[in-house]
Amino acid sequence: MITVLTFIQYLIPVFLVFMLTRVYKEYQKEKIEKAEIRKRLESPLIYDPETGMEITLEQAEKGTFIDHDNHNRIRTKKELDQFFDATERVVEEIANYLKVNNYSVFTLDEEHYSILDTISITKKYDTFDCQRCYKNLESNFLVLFPKVNIESTRQQIGINGFQILYWVKTTNFDGHYYLRPKTNLESVLDKIRQDDPFIIENFEIYPIKEEINILPLIHLLKKFEGLEDIEIELKENDFFIKTLVEPTMDKFLELERIIKTIASNR
């Protein structure tokens, strides 16, 4: 009969082998990553993300750039593996998807930035950089990959990374509403006293300017009911949906399916 002591004596070496194997795998992974970084640093060539080509340090210092007109170029797996970290790679993989699915690179103008500067979604961040933008050529909505930053303080944890932002032009609205995920406390308090102007499951609703045409607004927002890790803002005819976490292809596609139904019914 196996005693507890015998079992423990058997378990200890198994556990040690498991831990040593895990440590070794982590060491090997870190060793490979460091070798890749060292290889890039030692390389006499610099990667140009616009063209996918490599130029010399001398060319870069002289401001020599390779002319090209293919802004919708698909990045290769080799480029993704070699030149982008994990989060950047996801953004680039989504961008590759966009480029072959009826989207095109789009440049925001001053009017776009002036609108972004006035909405609640952007105001809470110390920086909100929207250089990456694509336009759906069929329904004309925009997909942005803002890089956001909030400095750490004693009261809050800092944020620094990419997110996904959809921007759709709607019609017949003149109100302004901001929606964010409810906290657990807010969900409990709502059972005692409901303070939202209407109910969208899982969301706290802030009416900044009341909408006269309320039923179409509720119908629009119901499409996002129950979704996690997103915030929503409608300001008159500009409708924004943004993730609160770093991008994933699954979250992008989940939102894209909904956005396409909205954009096609305008």
Q: What is the sign, positive or negative, of the torsion defined by CA atoms of 161, 162, 163, 167?
A: positive
> Long-range contacts: 195-200, Cβ < 8 Å, 24+?
200/224, 200/225
With a cut of 80, say whether residue 40 has pLDDT above it.
no
Confidence of residue 81 (pLDDT cuts 50, 70, 90): confident
Residue 78 pLDDT? 87
Check residue 81 and report its DSSP letter.
Answer: H
pLDDT in tens, 195-243: 888 999 999 999 999 988 899 999 999 999 999 999 999 999 999 999 9
User: Which tokens sit at 125?
Assistant: 């961040």
Give the separation between CA 240 and CA 248, rounded to whole angstroms. Answer: 18
With a cut of 50, say whether residue 61 has pLDDT above it.
yes
User: Which tokens sit at 44?
Assistant: 């006499």
Stretch among 8-12, 64-68, 91-95, 236-240 having the lowest mean pLDDT: 64-68
Q: What is the sign, positive or negative, of the torsion defined by CA atoms of 126, 71, 58, 91?
A: positive
With a cut of 60, say whether residue 1 has pLDDT above it.
no
Confidence of residue 106 (pLDDT cuts 50, 70, 90): very high
Delimit the domains of the chain by residue range.
4-33, 46-99, 103-264
- Mean pLDDT, the chain, whole residue set: 82
